[in-house]
A and B are shown apart, each in its own frame.
Chain A
Amino acid sequence: MKNKLFKLIILLIIFVLVIFAAYYFIDKTNLIEKEKTAKLYFSTPDAMYLAAEERVIKGRNLYKAALNALIEGPTDSSLTKTIPEGVKVLNISKNNDTIHVDFSEEIVKNHWGGSAGERITVYSIVHTLTQFKDVKQVKFLIEGEEVETLAGHMDLTVPLGPNPNILQ
């Protein structure tokens, strides 16, 4: 009798552990919707600095959700969008603490140009993604290809980390 109860308890514990493990696994593999209050970095109107706007983001992949929110633009009218029209995030992959983000070609084609304009685009993405504690740097890809640059100035051949000087 006692033995039977003991077996039951062990089974229950295993059952609970399996459920927890499964949940943990599912959580890790982007199968369920997650949410987070994230900082989205937009440009000041002089294109000099980035300022954060907090927003609740939701999605199976929070990196993608954060980027999509960034693409949508700021709600605060004193800030300016940093990503040109029509840009899509084609793919996101992670390699240790470097996140590889593949953007659609609109990020080049519809870009406004200029060193100032290119910096805000690049760093709004870098700062928005490096707020996740498992991301330290960002490697940019366009249409699946490695690129020299986005708008003719920034060096995108290597991954980029955050730039504290650009934060307001």
Chain B
Amino acid sequence: MLSMNLKKHTIIFLFLILILGSQAVLSADMPKIYINGQNSTAKLNPVKSNGAILVRSKALANSIGARLKWLGSINTLSMTKNGKTVKMMVESPYIQINSRTIRTESPMVIKDNYTYIPFTDIMDVFGFLIEYDRISNSYYLFKPESQLKEIVWGPNRQSLILKMNNIAPYRLRLTDDPKKLIIEIEKAAVAENFQDKVSDKNYYLKSRRIENQATLQIVLTSKFPLPINSDEVISEENGNLLIQFMPQIASINWQKDNTLEIKTNGAINKPEVSFLEDPRRMVLDIPGVLLSEFEKKLDENKWIKDVRVSQFQFEPTVLRVVLDLKEDKYLNIVNQDEEKIVLKPARRARVFDLDYKNHQIIFKTDAPIEPDLFTLESPSRLVINLFNTYREDNMADEIKVKENIVKKIRVGRFDSQIVRLVADLSEMTAYEHEQEQFSKNIYIHRISLANKFDDIELLDQNMYTNININVSGKVNYEVKKFSYPHRLVVDISGKEITPDEVKLPKPVGIIKEMRMGRFELDDEIVTRVVFELSKYFNHNIISDNPDNKINIALAKSEIQSENNLIVLDAGHGGFDPGAVGKNLQEKEVNLKIVDRLESILKSHGFKVKLTRKDDTFISLNRRVKMANNDGARLFISIHNNSSSKSTSEGTETFIAPNKTGDSLLLAENIQKQLIDKLGLVNRGVKKEHLYVIKYTEMPAVLVEVAFLSNPAEEKLLLKDSFLTEAAVAISQGIFDYFEKFED
């Protein structure tokens, strides 16, 4: 049974060889082979064997100037050039190169008394690059135009330098993995004596060739996320390729002169500083710096116990340095230059001469400080924290003020480090702090308090009439609705604020008339703004209370809802171009449609958020998170289609199989409008496991407007008018959905 089967197989195998063999002779589709630009096909006489292309050994050796030797007794051919000897045996898949061996898919054969050898393998050994062009069925063999000699770190490991004898076309490919980076160089090869001075315990460098393309790939893998954040980091410099990294943290050292030095290996930006208690710590958020292995040296000192460093955030990148301070110790940034931040134990500043004059709280310090100001409600008060200060002994605990807006100013001690001034206010108000150096050791601080109307704006939109009342500081207000006739009343509390300061705008939309007045209500001074309405459905108060702007949306019809945030997702971006047509990349078209759709939706009173506003790569997972975190009402992903055949055409809309109800209704309305307005072939609404619509938690669709792979449709996508029409159709589909949804 077994032997029978084997016999059968052997027969079939032999038969196949026979068929393949005869095919090789008959086959007319032999490739053309160019060596150093010369068509050498006739000389090389390519033949097919087991699906691979072999050429005549003699001709190949002649065209590259190699010596050939035939050892008939052992059926072995040897080929030598520049000290490299290649030996191969008839029908053997092993090729010996000096003292090492490689395996070939297509062993040497003898045909009509000539030896035929696998030229791609052999030419690779002799340092030739091989490029195969499918369309013309041609192989191009040539010497590399440039050699990669060395890869080294630039100064401070802030850049990577690729030393080449000649610059060839290059590009950088960012991968989904932030720890991996790929550099591609055309027509380049790694030099014989190539030196990798980059690989160590944190970095691993590897080069590889893309099959049938003369492209060299350099892959750098790192233990830490690679400090790169855009695709414009590769450049040419002094005949080398330079890859610029973002600065990384290099060291944190406590210096002999009792200062703390935070060093990076590149330009450093101003950190945001905050102080926290329990345990006492100083937090420095340094933008644009990445975490790396760094040197930490904290000698015994009186100021800090420890330093902790973390990558607080990516995109934008923020490095967080936390200094655990010892009891009642304090550090100040004294110096910040190109690559370092220096912190010094700070002298505590004396606070003195507190006063109140002309609507201003005034005090002095004997050193510059950065006060922290904020207001608190119920009761309204302004808090001024003065870090690392102490109050002068004879400074009063309290100043009574006869002014309307400020009742009194209290001087307290928040803790041993902070003098706290609290101004009790009769109402919420705006504030402004300025510091002026008066003499060598005297700095004057003035805090002005004032509230006034900036302006009132009315905005008439498709679904809403918007009211915006802008005030210079936070105010408390109340919005009331009265009927017969419909009117909306906004009562703004505040003695400082007066209606005389503001000019009323012209009524628009459902607002017929406006008036303003001031009166006393339960011992409070109130400014009342009255909006007479021609009709009323509903209103949303969008601003907070208190707030420095009062923003109210008046619905113009029954269609309205609490949440009207729509997330628009322009497909692809950055290094992922999406589908590529003859003249267009999908990522560009998607963004253009999304931009148009955004302005249409906004003008109809919707809130809109874009997953990307420019040409950047954003993973599918992040797109989903953006929509879910914001609790969007709808998610609309805009794409353009492609397939392997240029005849594919039309418009299709996708929903996820796990979310059919509302998503299906939305998809059907959008698809219908697109077909009506654009008139392309209707490919229908389809259910598919597409990532962004599957994992978003709200009704979601993915629209494929037209095919970039179809030349006629690509031409349409080049027209601005077509893109506008597509955006109009999609927006109309959304409006139709809401109309049906609300029914």
How far does the alpha carbon of A157 sit from the alpha carbon of B576 in the complex, in Å?
Answer: 19
CA distance A32 to B12 in the complex (A): 14
B645 touches A115 (CB 8 A): no
- Which of B74-82, B351-359, B647-655 faces chain A? B647-655
Q: Which of A33, A86, A113 has the most CB of B within 10 A?
A: A113
CA distance A163 to B176 in the complex (A): 28
Using C-beta atoms within 8 Å of the partner chain, give the interface range for chain A: 35 or more
**Could you tell me which residues of chain B, from 151 to 179, have a CB within 8 Å of some CB in chain A?**
176
- Does B620 interact with chain A (Cβ within 8 Å)? yes
Which residues between 96 and 119 of chain A lie within 8 Å of chain B, taking CB atoms?
112-117, 119
Check B704 for interface membership: any CB of A closer than 8 A: yes
In the bound complex, do residue A82 and residue B644 qualify as a contact, i.e. CB atoms below 8 Å apart? yes
- Residue from A43, A116, A154, A163 having most chain B Cβ neighbours under 10 A: A116
How far apart are the CA atoms of A114 and B176 in the complex, in Å? 19
The docked-state distance in angstroms from the alpha carbon of A153 to that of B654 is 10
Question: A46 near B: Cβ within 8 Å?
Answer: yes
Q: Nearest chain-A residue to B621 (Cβ)?
A: A148
User: In the complex, are the beta carbons of B641 and A117 less than 8 A apart?
Assistant: yes
For the complex, would chain A's binding face be called helix, strand, loop or mixed by DSSP majority?
loop
CA distance A119 to B644 in the complex (A): 11
Contact with A along B625-661 (1 / 0, CB 8 A): 0000000000000011111110111101010000000
Residue of B whose beta carbon sits closest to that of A158: B689
Contact of A43 among B619, B644, B654 (CB under 8 A): B644
B694 touches A114 (CB 8 A): no
Q: Is A29 an interface residue (CB 8 A)?
A: no
Q: Is residue A160 within 8 Å, beta carbon to beta carbon, of the partner chain?
A: yes
Return the contact of A152 from the options B211, B571, B654, B683 (Cβ within 8 A).
Answer: B571
CA of A48 to CA of B651, assembled, Å = 11
Is the CB of B691 closer than 8 A to any CB of chain A?
yes
Contact among B1, B2, B647, B689 for A45, CB-based, below 8 A: B647
- Report which residue of A19, A115, A119, A151 has the largest number of chain B beta carbons within 10 angstroms of its beta carbon: A115
Query: What's the least CB distance linking B415 to chain A, in Å?
Result: 49
Which of B648, B650, B689, B691 meets A160, CB within 8 Å?
B689
Q: Which residues of A contact B452 (CB under 8 A)?
A: none
**B6 closest partner in A (C-beta):** A32
When distances are taken between beta carbons in the complex, the residues of chain A under 8 Å from B643 are: 43, 47, 80, 112, 114, 116-117, 120
Q: How far is the CA of A115 from the CA of B638 in the complex (A)?
A: 11
**B644's contact among A84, A86, A153, A157, by CB below 8 Å, is which?**
A84
Given B2, B691, B709, which contacts A23 in the complex, CB threshold below 8 Å?
A: B2
A165 B687 Cβ-Cβ under 8 A: yes
Asked if B579 CB lies within 8 Å of chain A CBs, one says: yes
- Which of B2, B576, B692, B704 contacts A114 (CB under 8 A)? B704
Chain A proximity of B146: nearest CB distance (Å): 22
Query: Which residues of chain B have C-beta atoms less than 8 A from A85's C-beta?
Result: 134
Chain A, residue nearest B646 (CB):
A45
Q: Is B676 an interface residue (CB 8 A)?
A: no
> Which 5 A/B pairs are nearest by Cβ-Cβ distance?
A114-B642, A113-B579, A47-B643, A114-B641, A47-B648
Q: Which residues of A contact B (CB under 8 A)?
A: 19, 23, 32-33, 43, 45-48, 80-82, 84-86, 112-117, 119-120, 147-149, 151-155, 157, 160, 163, 165
Given contacts A33-B9, A114-B639, 5 further A-B contacts (CB under 8 A): A47-B643, A148-B176, A148-B621, A153-B571, A160-B689
Residue pairs across A and B with Cβ atoms less than 8 A apart, 14 shown, are A33-B9, A43-B644, A45-B645, A45-B648, A85-B134, A86-B211, A112-B643, A113-B580, A113-B642, A116-B643, A117-B579, A117-B641, A153-B692, A155-B694
